[in-house]
């Protein structure tokens, strides 16, 4: 039997209930296993792959609650749904604290029981996907670490893997490969990329993997410092150098001596300070305001979201400084060029903000991940992080759904009439999403959708039926005759 097959184990001491539930789930195209007692269920669990267990609460010998506790000790990843009569609802609610996914009340209604089991199965498969993604990420960083050591001649590079740079997309891998090769050198690095792409994270990684990794890393946001204060901020000043200078202050270059100085948004520095910055890059010398010439052993890593070449042409940035900074340019890709990293980033930020807020959220429902994958992310990784933090704080369930995210994300995922797919998206998923989006565009008109897609109308019906059987979300009106 394949591990990915959807299997439900039904446990009940009444044979008539087992027969009814078996027929119900077989109609849903699920693989069904049966057990008439808790003890028999544990034997089945030891010899078969099971996604969800549906168990009666009141059974002779081992009760459903006892079975739940035993299952969680043996195979905690299996989800358990309890069937309970009116008098034992309180017991079932209490059992959810012991790890039960949910409970359904008797008399059982087919729609409710199928929906609950489907949701439990979706959660089970989601957790398996998350584990696989984490393993893929760990394998990638292990390989990247080996490449970094090899490029440095076998010398140890500071740290083993980036703490916050998450992703395995080709675009990100290309960026990191350049960064890892540049890190052990003393060359000036210029990091280019849109706002919110993680330029400072990459700068810290370059520093961490360099020979200066144990020395200071000093970051300066040049866009946040008034032009009149920039010179004093970078180079420091002596007491009395200007009105308000009541004491001597070391500048950022002195603070970063022996380490790395990160100049974020370097394109915002004024021309008069650019001249002095150029001197430091040329000979390592600078002068604090009102003081004497000093030397600093500082590696410069700069970053900007501006086109510095265009700034040079416009006369706003010195050409000689541009060439001094642009020794090793590294481009950080925007989110739209690394959509395959979105699930990994979602999981990364989910874990971070669950810990921060004391939440226990297991993951995302499939349709929510679809929305996050389709959204254009103009604010890049920073916007994604903020969206996940908001969702974690406001979530009322243990999985995140579409309603936990701002409405505009679902409505402005991509340009109207376009569907975006990442390289490597399974063909079945491409087909499913394309049919779904076309039906939304046609307001559920299957004949028109079939004409637009160049397929037979009966193919639309067949695909929708398969989607419904899998518990998937279909466009409003798509199932209407």
Residues 267 and 396 in one domain: no
pLDDT at residue 454 in the model: 81
Pair of tokens at residue 256: 């970063």
In a domain, residue 406? The reply is yes
Nearest to 189 by CA among 252, 134, 258, 266: 266
Residues 111 and 11 in one domain: yes
From 331, 356, 380, the end of a domain falls on: 331
Decide if 208 contacts 200 (C-beta within 8 A).
no
Decide if 340 contacts 422 (C-beta within 8 A).
yes
Pair of tokens at residue 262: 């990160």
pLDDT at residue 411 in the model: 60
CATH number at residue 433: 1.10.10.60
**What are the 10-residue block averages of pLDDT along the chain, 481 residues in total?**
70 93 91 94 91 92 90 86 78 77 86 88 74 62 55 44 74 91 93 94 94 94 90 84 74 93 95 92 85 88 95 94 94 92 91 93 83 89 95 89 82 52 68 81 77 83 76 47 43
Pair of tokens at residue 390: 């908001």
pLDDT at residue 467 in the model: 72
Residues 197 and 320 in one domain: yes
From 304, 331, 358, the end of a domain falls on: 331
For 204, residues 6+ apart whose C-beta sits below 8 A from its C-beta are: 217, 262
SS3 category, 303: strand
DSSP string, 417-455: T-----TT--HHHHHHHHHHHHHHHTTT-HHHHHHHHTS
Nearest to 56 by CA among 101, 20, 13, 26: 13
Ramachandran quadrant class, 78 (left: phi over 0; alpha: psi -120 to 50; beta: rest): beta
- Backbone angles phi and psi of 473, in degrees to 5: -90, 130
Residues 230 and 285 in one domain: yes
Cα dihedral 231, 237, 242, 244, rounded to 10, equals 110
pLDDT at residue 296 in the model: 86
How far is it, in rounded angstroms, from Cα 26 to Cα 125? 19
How far is it, in rounded angstroms, from Cα 79 to Cα 122? 10
- The pairing of strands 189-192 and 299-304 is parallel
How far is it, in rounded angstroms, from Cα 249 to Cα 233? 9
In a domain, residue 142? The reply is no
Residues 298 and 401 in one domain: no
Residues 307 and 359 in one domain: no
Q: Report how far apart the first and last C-alpha atoms of the chain are (Å, whole number).
A: 37
Residues 232 and 324 in one domain: yes
SS3 category, 388: helix
Residues 289 and 368 in one domain: no
In a domain, residue 137? The reply is no
From 272, 307, 331, the end of a domain falls on: 331
Residues 247 and 266 in one domain: yes
For tokens 């439990």, the residue is: 120
The model's pLDDT over 38-69, given as tens digits with 9 standing for 90+, comes to 999 999 998 898 999 999 998 998 999 889 98
How far is it, in rounded angstroms, from Cα 94 to Cα 107? 20
pLDDT at residue 5 in the model: 65
**Segments forming the whole domain that contains residue 388:** 336-411
CA–chain centroid gap for 82, Å, is 33
pTM score of the predicted model: 0.60
- In the chain, the number of structural domains is 4
How far is it, in rounded angstroms, from Cα 289 to Cα 325? 24
pLDDT at residue 145 in the model: 52
pLDDT at residue 248 in the model: 80
Neighbours of 279 (CB within 10 A): 13
How far is it, in rounded angstroms, from Cα 375 to Cα 364? 15
CATH number at residue 11: 3.40.50.2300
Task: Tell me the C-alpha to C-alpha distance, in Å, between residue 437 and each of 122, 186, 429, 453, 458.
Answer: 22, 51, 12, 11, 17
In a domain, residue 421? The reply is no
In a domain, residue 419? The reply is no
In a domain, residue 246? The reply is yes
In a domain, residue 172? The reply is no
Pair of tokens at residue 258: 């022996």
CATH number at residue 319: 3.40.50.300
Residues 325 and 345 in one domain: no
pLDDT at residue 196 in the model: 94
Residues 60 and 101 in one domain: yes
> With b meaning 16 or more CB within 10 Å and e meaning fewer, what string describes 456-473?
eeeebeebbeebeebbbe
């Amino acid at each position: 039997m394949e591990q990915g097959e959807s299997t439900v184990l039904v446990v009940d001491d009444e044979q008539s209930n087992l027969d009814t539930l078996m027929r119900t789930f077989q109609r849903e195209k699920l693989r069904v296993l049966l057990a008439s007692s808790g003890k028999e269920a544990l034997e089945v669990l030891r010899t078969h792959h099971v996604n969800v267990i549906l168990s009666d609460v009141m059974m002779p010998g081992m009760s459903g609650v006892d079975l739940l506790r035993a299952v969680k000790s043996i195979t905690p990843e299996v989800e358990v749904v309890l069937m309970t009569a009116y008098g034992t609802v309180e017991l079932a609610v209490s059992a959810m604290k012991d790890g039960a996914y949910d409970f359904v009340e008797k008399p059982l209604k087919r729609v409710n029981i199928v929906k609950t089991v489907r949701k439990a199965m979706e959660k089970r498969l989601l957790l398996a996907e998350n584990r696989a993604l984490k393993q893929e990420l760990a394998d990638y960083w292990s390989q990247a670490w080996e490449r970094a050591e090899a490029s440095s001649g076998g010398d140890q590079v500071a740290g083993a893997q980036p703490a916050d740079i998450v992703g395995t997309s080709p675009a990100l891998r290309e960026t990191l490969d350049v960064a890892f090769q540049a890190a052990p050198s003393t060359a000036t690095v210029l990091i280019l990329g849109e706002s919110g792409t993680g330029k400072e994270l990459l700068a810290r990684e370059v520093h961490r993997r360099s020979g200066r990794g144990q020395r200071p890393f000093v970051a300066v946001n040049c866009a946040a410092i008034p032009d009149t204060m920039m010179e004093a901020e970078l180079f420091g000043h002596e007491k009395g150098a200007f009105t308000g200078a009541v004491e001597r202050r070391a500048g950022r270059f002195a603070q970063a001596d022996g380490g790395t100085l990160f100049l974020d948004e370097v394109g915002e520095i004024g021309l008069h300070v650019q001249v002095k910055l150029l001197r430091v890059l040329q000979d390592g010398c600078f002068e604090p305001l009102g003081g004497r010439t000093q030397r600093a052993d500082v590696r410069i890593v700069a970053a900007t979201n501006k086109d510095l070449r265009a700034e040079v042409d416009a006369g706003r940035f010195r050409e000689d400084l541009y060439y001094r900074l642009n020794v090793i340019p590294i481009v950080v890709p925007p989110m739209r060029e690394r959509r395959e990293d979105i699930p990994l980033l979602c999981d990364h930020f989910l874990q971070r903000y669950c810990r921060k807020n004391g939440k226990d959220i297991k993951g995302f429902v499939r349709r929510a991940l679809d929305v996050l994958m389709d959204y254009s992310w103009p604010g890049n990784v920073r916007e994604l992080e903020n969206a996940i933090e908001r969702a974690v704080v406001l979530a009322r369930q243990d999985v995140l759904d579409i309603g936990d995210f701002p409405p505009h994300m679902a409505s402005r995922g991509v340009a109207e009439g376009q569907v975006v797919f990442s390289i490597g998206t399974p063909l079945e998923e491409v087909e499913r999403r394309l049919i779904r989006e076309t039906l939304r565009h046609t307001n559920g008109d299957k004949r028109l959708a079939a004409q637009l897609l160049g397929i037979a109308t009966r193919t639309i019906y067949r695909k929708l039926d398969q989607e419904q059987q899998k518990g998937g979300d279909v466009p409003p009106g798509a199932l209407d005759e």
